[in-house]
Amino acid sequence: MRDVIRDSYFGQLVRLVHRPKWLRYGEESNDFTVPRFDRSGVEGYSEHGINVNSTTSVQAVDVNLVTWYEGHDSDNPRNWSLGKKCYVTFLIMILTITVYIGSAIYAPAVGPASEYFGVSTLVSSLGISMFVAGYGIGPLFLSGITEVPAIGRTSVYIITLLIFFILQILTALVNNFAGFLVLRFIAGFMGSPALATAGASLDDMYPSNKLAYSMGFWGLAAEAAPAMAPIISGFVIQSDGWRWAFWEMSILSGICLIILFFTLPETSPDTILLRRAQRIRHKTSNFQYQSQSEITHALLPFTQIIFDSLLRPIALTFTEPIIIAINLYTGLVYATLYSFFESFPIVYEQGYGWDLGVSTLPFAALFMGSLIGWSIYSLWNWKWVDQTFDPKGSARSPETRLPCALIGAFCLPTCILWFSWSAVRTHWIVPVLSSIPFGMASTLIFNPFLTYLPYAYPQYAASALASNDFFRSMMGAGMPIAAHPLFHNLGIDWGNTIIGLLSVAMIPIPFILYKAGPWLRKRSKIAL
């Protein structure tokens, strides 16, 4: 626990002012001598420095390269204890749940808020769209910054979460609709690092054969949060008004901020090694001790750093066929989820005559489906990935992550078409049960794809995930606006049938990537 607090944002702030003995690193002890570094995996390194001919990112510099210590280096996130890894994974899940709940917690309040602000329900639904658009655009500016070693991941998480918390209070107090929409957009923007960068944080800690478990847990949190959000807020909105959706958000985000501020450690290896190099230089007064990331970034032009941090996710969105295909598919899944926030009230409030609070309960079926999908995904990973993993063997193809998506591809249209033609025509349990295949589909599609991207683009994992978050969020943001005329003009049956037919058209994508993925990666300049 001492290491967790020391490496947290709180611990680093305390160390800036004063370095108490209980928060010191080994490099700061009086009897410290520089151990041997493990440089076996560093291309182009010799005892005389960096060879520029084999390491294109740096020029000829005489340095002592700081890497992990030989043997079991406890500062390496891959070497953390299982308990510490699970705890950090839990914190990332809590952060993700907090932000994702913010997108849909307003859904039951669309009607009451439209009456308060004097706008139509279609215009009021922009409160959902603006938040989703915000956390789609945010990663293009914030996620890449987490790849800058001098900044790291934890500081971005904490600072943006603090702003997110303040915005929830302001949203609960706002009295004009324009200000409400602006606050919702900025809140989504500030919450976005958790959604786009969390996968990269997990990749920092887990080897390839274990990553799927942590990604599965995180994916379950990301899928369950918007599904459970209307249930969390529905009854309190019914009894106390629409503003209480945001008072609930302020309480949740405030608790999350306190926990993460004190106990979320840094996971970025580049940031950890940069800080180690700084401590060794301070201790030895030898300024030739530098980390690889310091050398690389010191010799990069400023425009290149801006491109790497801010523009690469945009470039990946439009130039990489693999990313384009995955973005389209996950975007459709996302859009389908947000269409439920329009179609469920029509079916359960108007069709079956339920009150506001009770009409949110069918969203629980989405969570049940996600649990089933997660169980299938974890069982598959344990049997066909984990047990057959050979750490001394050659690296496995990233496409080995995709088979579960082949199952999810058929679950998605099953859910949509089942719901289309059973809603209001049958007993209420029938359309409620139709939501279970959607939860399975979202888990069995998102988890393989979001695990596949970091392995297909290992050097730019955060940027690839930011690209995916941007694209799918834009589709999700547009759906509440499009769903209103779609369902009111065509009805729940034919409106959802159109979405279901689009999902049928997407079925070939995971099959094509599974077969043609290696061919596509070979023709990419940045893929593995």
Query: The whole model's pTM is what?
Result: 0.88
Q: What is the DSSP string of 309-370?
A: IIIHHHHHHHH-HHHHHHHHHHHHHHHHHHHHHHHHIIIIIIIS---TTGGGGGGHHHHHHH
**pLDDT score recorded for residue 508:** 96
Task: Report yes or no: 50 and 58 within 8 Å, Cβ to Cβ.
Answer: yes
Task: Report yes or no: 96 and 160 within 8 Å, Cβ to Cβ.
Answer: no
**pLDDT score recorded for residue 499:** 95
Q: What is the DSSP letter of 32?
A: -
**Predicted confidence band at 57 (pLDDT cuts at 50, 70, 90)?**
very low
Four-residue CA torsion sign, 211, 523, 141, 14: positive
3-class DSSP assignment, residue 525:
coil
3-class DSSP assignment, residue 40:
coil
Choose between 70 and 267: higher pLDDT: 267
Task: Report yes or no: 64 and 286 within 8 Å, Cβ to Cβ.
Answer: yes
**Predicted confidence band at 148 (pLDDT cuts at 50, 70, 90)?**
confident
Which of 32-36, 129-133, 333-337, 402-406 is least confident? 32-36
Which of 158-162, 238-242, 469-473 is least confident? 469-473
**Predicted confidence band at 114 (pLDDT cuts at 50, 70, 90)?**
very high
Q: Which token pair is 272?
A: 């950890």
Helices (H), 143-176: 154-173
**pLDDT score recorded for residue 394:** 66
**Predicted confidence band at 300 (pLDDT cuts at 50, 70, 90)?**
low
In our burial notation (b when 16+ CB lie closer than 10 A, e otherwise), range 357-373 reads bbbbbbbbbbbbbbbbb
Torsion-angle region of residue 210: left (phi > 0), alpha (psi -120 to 50) or beta?
alpha
Q: What is the mean pLDDT of residues 330-350?
A: 93
Given a cut of 70, whether residue 106 has pLDDT beyond it is: yes
Given a cut of 90, whether residue 321 has pLDDT beyond it is: yes
**Mean pLDDT across the chain, nearest whole number?**
87
**Predicted confidence band at 56 (pLDDT cuts at 50, 70, 90)?**
very low
Burial of 504 (0-12, 13-18, 19+ CB in 10 A): middle
Read off the pLDDT of residues 204-237 as tens digits, 9 standing for 90 and up.
898 877 887 888 888 888 888 888 899 999 999 9
Given a cut of 90, whether residue 318 has pLDDT beyond it is: no
Pairing of strands 49-50, 289-291: unpaired
Which of 21-35, 96-110, 351-365 is least confident? 21-35
Q: Which of 119, 244, 253, 241 is nearest to 187 (CA)?
A: 253
**Predicted confidence band at 55 (pLDDT cuts at 50, 70, 90)?**
very low
Burial of 120 (0-12, 13-18, 19+ CB in 10 A): exposed
**Predicted confidence band at 306 (pLDDT cuts at 50, 70, 90)?**
low
Q: Which token pair is 368?
A: 């049940």
**Predicted confidence band at 134 (pLDDT cuts at 50, 70, 90)?**
very high
Task: Report yes or no: 142 and 193 within 8 Å, Cβ to Cβ.
Answer: yes
